[in-house]
Amino acid sequence: LFSAILTAFLILSLGLLFPDKAQATVDALMVVSAQLNALNNPGSSPPSPYQPTDPFVPNAISVWINVLWILSLTISLFTSVLAMLAKQWCRAYAANISSVARQGARQRHFRYMGVLEWRVPAIINSLPVLLHVAVFMFLIGFMAFLWPVNTVLFAVMAAIWIAGAVAYVLLAVAPLIWYNCPFKS
């Protein structure tokens, strides 16, 4: 779901990296109009020929918004692929264990040692962190996107995001302070 929402925003923001073709058309039409006016008024000086504008260079904020959002989408998709792999690993871990107690215990122990050696728990535990990073990058890009649009909208959304970030940090730190805190992650 997050990737789908992010893709919609990317479609909108990628246009900021390309020149506005409508403006180029307007510029060319203004030159044509000036040339037609010069033909109708023989005493006026001839207009200069059409000179295309300088090569388009997107502004830095547009580039950074797209960098953040593309990285966010990439991390999100990478995380979902890793989550599917981890699910398959868990399924394979529990599959086809012998019904003979001694043999089943050996198989389970062998697989358990492999899981530890290959750091599967660390990989699985990193998945939420990767998604948090992707969401954080999206929100930073979204704040940068809103800033030039409307400062009031930016201020309201920034206040909401700051409140959410403070709550996130408090809930993440609370288990370190209070042992009985149920918000362990």
Its pTM surpasses 0.85: no
Cβ proximity of 66 and 145 under 8 Å:
no
Strand boundaries in 29-153, DSSP class E: none
pLDDT at 47: 67
For the chain, percent helix, then strand, then coil, each to nearest 5?
75, 0, 25
DSSP letter (8 states) at residue 147:
T
Report the C-alpha gap between 57 and 79 in whole angstroms: 33
pLDDT at 145: 94
Neighbours of 101 (CB within 10 A): 8
First to last CA, the chain: 22
Report the C-alpha gap between 145 and 10 in whole angstroms: 11
Tell me the per-residue pLDDT of 5-17, one tens digit each, with 9 for 90 and over: 999 999 989 888 8
Neighbours of 68 (CB within 10 A): 22
pLDDT by residue for the chain (185 residues), tens only, comes to 889 999 999 998 988 888 877 777 777 777 777 777 777 777 777 666 666 667 878 899 999 999 999 999 999 999 999 999 999 999 988 888 888 889 989 999 999 999 999 999 999 999 999 999 999 999 999 999 999 999 999 999 999 999 999 999 999 899 999 989 887 77
Question: What are the extents of the domains in the chain?
Answer: 150-185
